[in-house]
Amino acid sequence: MIWAQAYDPLEKMLGTTGYLLSALIAGIPLYILFYMLAVKRVAGHKAAFFGTIAAVILAIAVWRMPTVLAINATVKGACFGLFPIVWIIVTAVWIYNMTVESGEFEIIKNSLASMTDDRRLQAIFIAFAFGSFIEGTAGFGTPVAITAAMLVGLGFNPLYAAGICLIANTAPVAFGAIGVPILVAGAASGLPNANGEAVHHISQIVGRQLPFLSVIVPCWVSITMCGFKRTLEVLPALIVAGVCFAGTQFWTSNHLGPYLPDILSAMVTIVALILLLRVWKPKSIFHFPDEEVATSTVKASYTPGEMIRAWMPYMILAAFVTIWGLPAFKDAMKPLEQWALGIPWPGMNGVIEKMPPLVNATSPYAATFNFNFITSGGTAIFLAGIISAFVMPAYSARRGIACFVRTAYQLRFPIATIAMILGLAEIMNASGMSGTLGLAFTMTGALYPFFAPLLGWLGVFLTGSDTSSNALFANLQATTAHQVGVDPYLTVASNSSGGVTGKMISPQSIAVATSATGMVGQEGNLFRFTVFHSLAMTLVVCLLTLLQAYPLKWMLP
């Protein structure tokens, strides 16, 4: 039996026209999430539970989705949350926990503090630069899990550590995981993509939007930490970081494509900051008010060899996730896991149809599951952790296994949160509720370019992934652009650019950050910390897209 999605169910029930009323109803699960996280400040897994239950009830009662199919779709989404998302998070936090248990993280802290004891610069080094490198190689929550744990280990207030990492993890997201979001946008948009033409064109436009955000993110992070006046004390470093990252991001995305912008931008930024700190130091050192401020500059207490050894787990991690992200590696491994790619999901595959106007013509809803264990980023991190257990002194594989079990138990509530959030996203997508929300935005006519990034923002809030948001809305963006007479490549690109600003408030991302910083149960506080920054950055992308659609059209390739 084939079930066709309906995007305006209230038209038949109440005789209404247009998508507005149906969209308001479709947003109920999101209202519940916002209310429980931002107002009631309940634990993330509780908010996710009630939001998911509401989505299932609406899908059945209003969108007329068969009950068994609705439950099945929710289970499918939860399984995607467990693999590969949770697999990445558990392995990333596991490596951090091992470095703490072995005592190596004390050496890492000393090496960073001896280079700069200033919390503002440490945040730029780790949350912005190193986090961008990890985003470029692994993506999918990995950078926040690693960098937030590192900042807490250095002595950062957990709320600020988590919030800063979420804010910093914006500009690199569109090119994360070796450019996967852009590749998906090109494939899902329906735009001519022979020899990767659409992918390269979208990469160029995103590379002419995000650098405007990238150049100010270091200052944004610093102002969030200490205010405008104290930010001026480290302005040279912030300018170097922002300009180096944004400039490299612009050049690579326009000339090399979507694969390397994050990796090369992060490397250039780290090297530039290290060189700057050899000739310049801030006049005063910033610590958080609740910290014990050191009375003198921290001195390096370890030999260069000991520092290299302490950093080795993260060097191994970076090497593994880089190799795992290379297209050549993925192609070489495909024969080994061909059986695990595109597994038809029982009871859903071939059962649901997407309908116009969400798509150009009736098409099947993708109901497959990829258990690509070998090429998963989490597997790369897991292997890096195994090797690291032998690299760290006075450590062993036995202790590493015990640490892994403790880490999995430590993350039990975030695991439940992520599984339910991805279940919520899947039921909204499969039932057509997400399509209803998207179609409501298309009613804005000539102002649509302003609202196009909001679709990407909404998609990432729902799924926690710029890749998933592009898969969900890229075709709709292109179709609507043709209807209103603007460049379809611009609206597709803005879906990815707008999506990056929704990453910091996605319940999935918040669950990752709280689990990495020991703040499980405080998801509401972290949501309140980041929501203003998310909306403000989204407004920047919306205005830029509107200008590029009309008066600044010359900026587009």
Buried-state track 303-331, b at ≥16 Cβ within 10 A, e below 16 = eeebbebbbbbbebbbebbbebbeeebee
Q: Give the predicted TM-score (pTM) of the model.
A: 0.74
* pLDDT profile of the chain (557 residues), mean per 10: 91 75 90 79 81 95 95 91 78 83 83 78 91 76 82 86 93 81 78 74 94 95 93 95 96 85 88 92 85 54 87 83 78 82 87 87 85 83 92 90 91 81 83 84 86 88 77 76 86 94 88 85 88 95 96 92
Structural contact between residues 150 and 175, judged by C-beta atoms closer than 8 angstroms: no
DSSP SS3 for 368 = strand
Return the C-alpha torsion angle 173, 175, 178, 183, nearest 10: 120
Q: What pLDDT does 176 receive?
A: 81
Residue (of 245, 242, 252) closest to 266 by Cα position: 245
pLDDT on residue 16: 66
Q: What is the pLDDT of residue 295?
A: 40
Q: What would you report as the CA-atom Rg of the chain, rounded to the nearest whole angstrom?
A: 23
Contact present, 157 and 195 (Cβ < 8 Å): no
What is the three-class DSSP state of 324?
A: helix
Angle at 515 between CA 510 and CA 521, to 5 degrees: 75
**Taking the CA of residue 397 as centre, how many other CA atoms within 13 Å lie in the half-sphere pointing to its CB?**
4
pLDDT score of 292: 59
Question: What was the pLDDT predicted at 112?
Answer: 66
The whole-angstrom separation of Cα 502 and Cα 140 is 14
Residue among 309, 332, 395, 375 at smallest CA distance from 110: 309
Which residue ranges make up each domain of the chain? Answer: 3-284+298-555
Residue 275 token pair: 């060189």
How high is the pLDDT of residue 190?
Answer: 67
**C-alpha closest to that of 174 among 219, 205, 144:** 205
Residue 549, token pair as written in the block: 């659609």
Q: What is the pLDDT of residue 194?
A: 59
Phi, psi of 42 (to 5 degrees): -80, 165
What is the pLDDT, as a whole number, of residue 492? 93
What values do phi and psi take at 363, rounded to 5? -145, 150
**Residue 293: what pLDDT?**
52
**269-326 residue pLDDT tens:** 988 998 999 899 898 888 888 765 544 455 667 888 988 998 898 888 778 877 876 7
SS3 of 156, please?
A: coil
Burial of 194 (0-12, 13-18, 19+ CB in 10 A): exposed
